[in-house]
Amino acid sequence: MQRLNREGHTVILTTHYLEEAEALCGRIAMLKQGRVVALDSTSNLLARYAGHTLKLRLSRCDGLPEDLRARSTADQEHHVFRLAGFDEIELLLGRIREAGCTIEDLRLTQTDLEDVFVGVMRGTDAGREF
């Protein structure tokens, strides 16, 4: 595919594997309910949601405050927060401790295409306040 693209051919790749799309595609379109909701170069999409992601595994937690729950995505084990800057970390961790939660695991990563996808699908913008 990359060779064909380098030779001037347009290649349309449909995938649910965002790592594959990030590695292979120069432009990305994201669809929601059959409509294009994002269309830009991969680098512009990543820049639009530039920042870091904080992934936390919490225990002894009766629940996060509503504003923090609304700001995070969660699976069975982790809460994931997109950060506009490192200065948000201290405030976020303080709010979590005030809620009575214990942090069992913490991971800080750079934003990737999956974070962009989640942000686009949720209709959120980078840099939301607590």
Per-residue pLDDT of 8-50, as tens digits, reads 888 898 998 988 988 888 899 999 999 999 999 999 998 887 7
Whats the size of the chain, residue-wise?
Answer: 130
Per-residue pLDDT tens over the stretch 71-93: 888 877 889 898 888 899 999 99
End-to-end CA distance of the chain: 43
pTM (predicted TM-score): 0.61
Closest CA to 52 of 118, 112, 114: 112
Q: Cα separation of 41 and 81, whole Å?
A: 24
